[in-house]
Amino acid sequence: MFNDINDVIKKLAEQDYIADQRIGTLVYLAAKLEKPILVEGPAGVGKTDLARRVAACLGRELIRLQCYEGLDESKALYEWEYSKQLLYTQILKDKITEVVADAKTLEEATDRIYNQDDVFFSERFLLPRPLLKAIESDEPTVLLIDEIDKADSEFEAFLLEVLSDFTVSVPEIGTLEAKHKPFVVLTSNNTREMSDAIKRRCLHLYIDFPDGQRELEIVRMKVPGVQDELLKDLVDFVQEIRKKDLKKIPSISETLDWARALTLLNAQSLGDEIVQGTLNTILKYEGDVIKAERELRHFLDRKRAEAANPAEVKDEKKEFLN
C-alpha cells in the first residue's frame, strides 16, 4: 500500500501518470479507508487511466467492468455455464443411467439425481464475471467499474449491495465472501447524475482539465521528442482555447494526439504552414476548427510581439500579477 500522499504521487509518476495533489490525496485516503472512489470529470482527462496506473503501482491485477445500457447481473457477476452443464450430462449419460438403474420407482430415481445435484451446480460450472472475479481472487485486485453512468439505475442499485460488503450469494452454492477487499474505482462521464446512495458510499474525485504546468508534464512524458519551444506553445494554446466557447473542448488525449501529429510532421513551431491543417486533431467540429484557426493567428501574433519586445510584455505581466 501507500505510505503517504507524496508516496502516491511519486509511485504514479513512476507509472507515467502525473497526479496533482488532489488525486494523490483521494487515492491515498481511498486505499487507507478501503472505500470505493468515484471519479468524475469530462471525457479524456485520464479517469480510466488512473485506475490502470494505480493497479500497476500496487502490483495488482486490474479487473475491468465496462458498463453499458442493459448490463445486468449475469454479465457483471456470474452466469451458469448451461452449455457446459448440458455437455457434461450428455457425456455422463451412461453414468447417470447407472445411478438410477436399480431404482424401483420414479420417485427414487429423482431422489438419487437430486443427491447428485451438487455436481452440476458447483463452482466448476460457474462462469465468473468481473465482479465475482474480483471477489474470488486470491490476490488483492483493483476493480474498475468504467462509465457507470452508462448502466441502468437498477444495475446501480445492485452494485450498491456488492460494494457495501463484498459478498455475493449464489442460491445454489451459498455466500461467497471476498478474500481481499478490492480497491474499487468507478468512473462516470456525467451523462446522468448518479444516485445519492452510490455517491454516499464512495469518495468523490472530480478530475478537471489539468493546468498548464501539469499538462506540459503529461505531454512531455507521453510524447517524448517534442521540442521544448513547440511543447510550451502547444500547451499554452490548448489551455487558451479551452476557455473559448467551443462545442467540444479538447481534452488531454487530444492534446497528446496533436503533439504526436506535430512530431510526425516534424513541425518546428506552431507558426509552421503545416500546423494549420492539423487543428482537426484537437477539434471535432468544423465551426470549432474555424474559430481555432483564427485564435491560432492571434496567438502567434501575440507571441511574435512578445519576442520582439520581451521587456515590455514582461512588465505588463508582472503588473497583472501584482
**Positions in the binding site for another protein (CB under 8 A):** 5, 21-22, 25-26, 28-29, 32-33, 35, 37-38, 40, 82-83, 86, 152, 190, 192-194, 196, 199-206, 245-247, 285-288
Contact between residue 225 and residue 191 where contact means Cβ atoms under 8 Å apart: no
Q: Which of 303, 283, 199 is nearest to 241 (CA)?
A: 283
Q: Which of 246, 257, 251, 254 is nearest to 287 (CA)?
A: 246
Closer by beta carbon to another protein, 95 or else 247: 247
Rg (CA), the chain: 28
User: Rounded CA gap, 270 and 295, in Å?
Assistant: 12
Number of H helices, E strands in the chain: 16, 9
E strand or H helix at 79:
strand 78-80
Closer by beta carbon to another protein, 40 or else 146: 40
Query: Given the C-alpha cell 448490463, which residue does it identify?
Result: 71
Q: Return the bridge partners of 186, or none.
A: 38, 145
Closer by beta carbon to another protein, 199 or else 260: 199
User: Rounded CA gap, 152 and 276, in Å?
Assistant: 43
What's the closest the beta carbon of residue 25 comes to another protein, in angstroms? 4
What's the closest the beta carbon of residue 225 comes to another protein, in angstroms? 34
What's the closest the beta carbon of residue 3 comes to another protein, in angstroms? 11
Closer by beta carbon to another protein, 247 or else 298: 247
Q: Which amino acid is at 140?
A: P
What's the closest the beta carbon of residue 200 comes to another protein, in angstroms? 5
User: Rounded CA gap, 99 and 103, in Å?
Assistant: 8
Closer by beta carbon to another protein, 105 or else 322: 322
Closer by beta carbon to another protein, 94 or else 196: 196
Report the b/e string of 157-168 with b at 16+ CB within 10 A.
ebbeebbeebeb
Closer by beta carbon to another protein, 24 or else 130: 24
What's the closest the beta carbon of residue 282 comes to another protein, in angstroms? 15
What's the closest the beta carbon of residue 261 comes to another protein, in angstroms? 24
What's the closest the beta carbon of residue 192 comes to another protein, in angstroms? 6
Q: Which of 69, 58, 79, 62 is nearest to 15 (CA)?
A: 58
